[in-house]
């Protein structure tokens, strides 16, 4: 009796191994089932999701104008202190003082891509970009100024 | 060489597993007392990835603190976020639109499948089978892509806000999920073929790390660990939240209490999650995906508790509010911590080679244990 059980066990064990190996053989012969992508080589054809949260950017139009009023809503919404809004006072043509942003400093190294700043922004001045290759040699390179040099606020955005 | 190892007075050897060890899946440090090959004691040393999340939450507003919980149990981050949002909604009595509820539950179940897929691959890899890891990641990648389309991120989604979800579903969501269900049903048979039915795997898992129902309860285990010992504890069934009481699904239960029982629970849970998704995917109600909430959320003075079922067990969040914009105190009840406490009990008297099988079947996520 013991011998029969012993042989049965060996048989079922071997069978289970063969069943498992059959899978391996299946993938060995079916190349269409392979889904691996060769990442750095397929950069040109890489499609990222439209909503992918890669980094915060500030879109500018062709006149180098942005929509940021400097209200600091994004700075208050951020849980990590990623965004610092530095404001200045511009003179309008009528001679009045008007608040505007000098610099919108963005620390990519602190950002967790939680999207709270974008939902907080009342004038849609910032959005998420689909970039993801963020590695640099020095940490200071990750601190970015989002508004371009010499840019000013778009007309009509309050 | 053996003389150099530290020995206790009785002649037992003390060895350290971790904090940098591939089988602990993170920075878990186990100090093991061995008598020959038999384990006398397992002592987990924690604190290597402690970030004081609970203290951190006290300085964040009720919208901001949710994202921190993604960093605890990163494999079911969406479910953690869900618990926080539910707790805040409970305190403020926000009515969540039905569409948002369905979206949340759909995402929860997708996260649960993704988490169990990764666990399945890692479990097999712990026991020396390398191929299943890639098979698991292949299916998990499909879920990650669905998440990326709708939530904008693959792992730490930050998709849930108090009052609803961040954005509406992506137009391709339903089609992609249906494709995934077809793919999953085709591939799950492979899992059984490759791993579940394998004689080596079964022999290494059966009667290893046996945990009786009474012990499992006294250690405070939850989720698949407790259900593997035959105790019904699914929060989705017992304390239904969102729309779970309207859904049809079975609670997976096994009575053996060994590693293999816990393994089978998770495999069956994946199938149940697919069943839930199938019920919901064609019946997503139209309407708002976000309730209108105030710009500044303030919880009334009081204490609020909410529990949900994550992929690892019961996750609880306890908020004490003084009526301000930030919580006075937050306590998280993480499933991993309690499940780890049972490891010492189940490992005693076992062989050191089986320790990996026990640890793998507990599905430990270290940042969840340490917080």
Question: Looking at beta carbons, which residues of chain A come within 8 Å of B67?
Answer: 79, 112, 114, 116
Percent of chain B past pLDDT 70, that is, above it, reads 98
Distance from CA of B4 to the nearest CA of A (A): 41
Mean pLDDT of chain B: 86
Interface contact flag, B198 A20, Cβ < 8 Å: yes
pLDDT one-digit tens code per residue, B203-221: 888 888 888 889 889 998 8
In this prediction, residue A140 carries a pLDDT of 87
What is the 3-class SS of chain A, one letter each residue?
A: CHHHHHHHHHHHHHHHHHHHHHHHHHHHHCHHHCCCCCCHHHHHHCCCCCCCCCEEECCCCCCCEECCCCCCHHHHHCCCCCEEEEEEEEECCCCCEEEEEEEEEEEHHHCCCCCHHHHHCCCCCCEEECCCCCCCCCHHHHEEECCCCCCEECCCCC
CA–CA distance, A1 with A7 (Å, rounded to integer): 10
pLDDT range class, residue A16, cuts 50, 70, 90: confident
CA–CA distance, B136 with B121 (Å, rounded to integer): 5
CA B80 to the chain's CA centroid: 9
In this prediction, residue A137 carries a pLDDT of 92
In this prediction, residue B5 carries a pLDDT of 58
Lowest-confidence region among B17-21, B185-189, B267-271, B288-292: B17-21
pLDDT one-digit tens code per residue, B124-146: 888 888 888 888 888 888 888 88
Neighbours of B314 (CB within 10 A): 23
pLDDT one-digit tens code per residue, A27-51: 888 887 777 888 888 888 888 888 8
Q: Which of A12, A23, A79 is facing B64, going by the closest CB pair?
A: A79
Interface contact flag, B145 A79, Cβ < 8 Å: no
Instruction: Return phi, psi of residue B185, to 5°.
Output: -65, -30
CA–CA distance, B312 with B276 (Å, rounded to integer): 18
Distance from CA of B43 to the nearest CA of A (A): 34
In this prediction, residue B61 carries a pLDDT of 87
B263: exposed, middle or buried (Cβ count in 10 Å: 0-12, 13-18, 19+):
buried
pLDDT one-digit tens code per residue, B301-317: 889 998 898 888 889 99
CA–CA distance, A48 with A53 (Å, rounded to integer): 10
pLDDT one-digit tens code per residue, B317-360: 999 988 888 889 899 988 888 888 888 888 888 888 888 888 88
Residue with tokens 């300085």: B59
Q: To probe the interface with B, which of A77, A114, A119 has the most B CB atoms within 10 Å?
A: A114
Q: Which residue of A has its CA nearest to B141?
A: A35
Residue A40 has which token pair?
């750095």
Residue A103 has which token pair?
């610099």
In this prediction, residue B2 carries a pLDDT of 46
Question: Looking at beta carbons, which residues of chain A come within 8 Å of B145?
Answer: 49
CA–CA distance, B269 with B252 (Å, rounded to integer): 6
Give the class (CATH, top level) of B52-370.
Answer: mainly alpha
Percent of chain A past pLDDT 70, that is, above it, reads 99
Question: Looking at beta carbons, which residues of chain B come within 8 Å of A48?
Answer: 148
Interface contact flag, A16 B151, Cβ < 8 Å: no
Q: What SS3 class is residue B147?
A: helix
- All structural domains of chain B with their residue ranges: 52-370
Distance from CA of B197 to the nearest CA of A (A): 6
A122 touches chain B (CB under 8 A): no
In this prediction, residue A158 carries a pLDDT of 67
Mean pLDDT of A79-96: 80
Residue B231 pLDDT exceeds 60: yes
In this prediction, residue B1 carries a pLDDT of 39
CA–CA distance, B34 with B40 (Å, rounded to integer): 5
Q: Which residues of B touch A (CB under 8 A)?
A: 60, 63-65, 67-68, 131, 138, 141, 145, 148-153, 156, 158, 161, 166-167, 170, 190, 193-195, 197-200
Interface contact flag, A112 B170, Cβ < 8 Å: no
Question: A97-107 and B314-321 as β-strands: parallel, antiparallel, unpaired?
Answer: unpaired
ipTM over 0.90: no
Model-level pTM?
A: 0.87
Question: A152-153 and A65-66 as β-strands: parallel, antiparallel, unpaired?
Answer: parallel
Residue B264 pLDDT exceeds 60: yes
Residue B119 has which token pair?
């666990």
Instruction: Return phi, psi of residue B305, to 5°.
Output: -130, 140
Q: Which of B131, B158, B193 is facing A114, going by the closest CB pair?
A: B158
Question: Looking at beta carbons, which residues of chain B come within 8 Å of A113?
Answer: 152-153, 156, 158
Mean pLDDT of chain A: 83
The larger pLDDT score, comparing residue A158 to residue A44, is at A44
Percent of chain A past pLDDT 90, that is, above it, reads 1
Select from B347, B314, B340 the least CA-distant residue to B47: B340
Residue A150 pLDDT exceeds 80: no
Q: What SS3 class is residue B315?
A: strand
Reported as type and span, the H/E element at residue B124 is helix B98-126
Select from B332, B317, B369, B325 the least CA-distant residue to B24: B369
Question: Looking at beta carbons, which residues of chain B come within 8 Å of A128?
Answer: 152
Q: Tell me how far CA of residue B182 lies from CA of A73, B93, B178, B186, in angstroms.
A: 45, 39, 6, 6
Residue A71 has which token pair?
């209200």
Mean pLDDT of B234-252: 86
Neighbours of A121 (CB within 10 A): 20
B241: exposed, middle or buried (Cβ count in 10 Å: 0-12, 13-18, 19+):
buried
| Crossing angle of the two packed helices B98-126 and B173-191, in degrees rounded to 10 | 30
Non-local (6+) Cβ contacts of A7 within 8 A are none
């Amino acid at each position: 009796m013991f011998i029969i059980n012993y042989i049965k066990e060996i048989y079922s064990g071997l069978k289970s191994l063969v069943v498992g190996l059959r899978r391996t053989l299946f993938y060995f012969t079916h190349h269409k089932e392979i889904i691996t992508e060769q990442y750095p080589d397929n950069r040109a054809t890489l499609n990222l999701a439209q909503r992918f949260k890669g980094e915060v950017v500030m879109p500018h139009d062709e006149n180098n104008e942005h929509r940021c009023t400097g209200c600091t809503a994004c700075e208050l919404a951020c849980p990590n202190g990623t965004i610092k809004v530095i404001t200045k006072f511009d003179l309008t043509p009528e001679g009045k003082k008007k608040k505007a942003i000098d610099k919108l400093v963005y620390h990519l190294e602190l950002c967790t891509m939680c999207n709270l700043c974008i939902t907080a922004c009342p004038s849609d001045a910032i959005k998420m970009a689909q970039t993801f290759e963020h590695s640099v040699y020095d940490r200071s390179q990750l601190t970015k100024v989002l508004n371009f040099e010499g840019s000013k606020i778009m007309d009509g955005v309050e | 060489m053996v003389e150099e190892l530290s020995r206790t007075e009785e002649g037992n050897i003390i060895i350290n597993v971790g904090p940098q060890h591939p089988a602990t899946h993170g920075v878990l440090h186990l100090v093991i007392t061995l008598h020959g090959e038999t384990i006398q004691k397992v002592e987990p040393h924690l604190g290597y990835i402690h970030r004081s999340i609970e203290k951190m939450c006290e300085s964040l507003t009720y919208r901001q603190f949710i994202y921190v919980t993604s960093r605890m149990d990163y494999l079911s981050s969406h479910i953690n976020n869900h618990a926080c949002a539910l707790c805040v909604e409970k305190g403020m009595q926000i009515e969540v639109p039905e569409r948002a509820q369905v979206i949340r539950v759909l995402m929860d179940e997708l996260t649960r499948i993704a988490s169990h897929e990764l666990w399945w691959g890692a479990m097999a890899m712990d026991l020396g089978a390398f191929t299943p890891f890639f098979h698991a990641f292949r299916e998990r990648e499909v879920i990650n892509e669905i998440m990326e389309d709708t939530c904008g991120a693959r792992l730490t989604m930050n998709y849930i806000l108090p009052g609803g979800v961040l954005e509406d579903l992506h137009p391709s969501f339903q089609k992609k999920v249906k494709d995934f269900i077809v793919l999953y049903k085709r591939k799950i048979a492979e899992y059984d073929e490759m791993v579940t039915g394998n004689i080596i795997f079964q022999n290494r898992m059966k009667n290893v790390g046996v945990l009786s129902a009474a012990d499992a309860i006294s250690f405070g285990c939850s989720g698949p660990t407790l259900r593997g010992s035959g105790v019904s504890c699914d929060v989705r069934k017992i304390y239904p939240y969102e729309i779970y009481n309207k859904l049809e699904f079975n609670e997976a239960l096994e009575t053996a209490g060994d590693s293999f029982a816990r393994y089978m629970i998770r495999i069956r849970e994946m199938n149940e999650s697919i069943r839930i998704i199938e019920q919901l995917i064609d019946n997503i109600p139209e309407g708002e995906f976000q309730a209108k909430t105030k710009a500044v959320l303030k919880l009334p003075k009081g204490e609020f508790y909410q529990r949900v079922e994550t992929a690892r067990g019961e996750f609880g969040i306890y908020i004490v509010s003084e009526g301000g914009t930030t919580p006075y105190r937050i306590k998280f009840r993480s499933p991993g911590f309690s499940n780890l406490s049972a490891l010492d009990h189940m490992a005693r008297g076992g062989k050191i080679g089986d320790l990996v099988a026990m640890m793998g079947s507990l599905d430990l996520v270290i940042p969840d244990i340490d917080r």
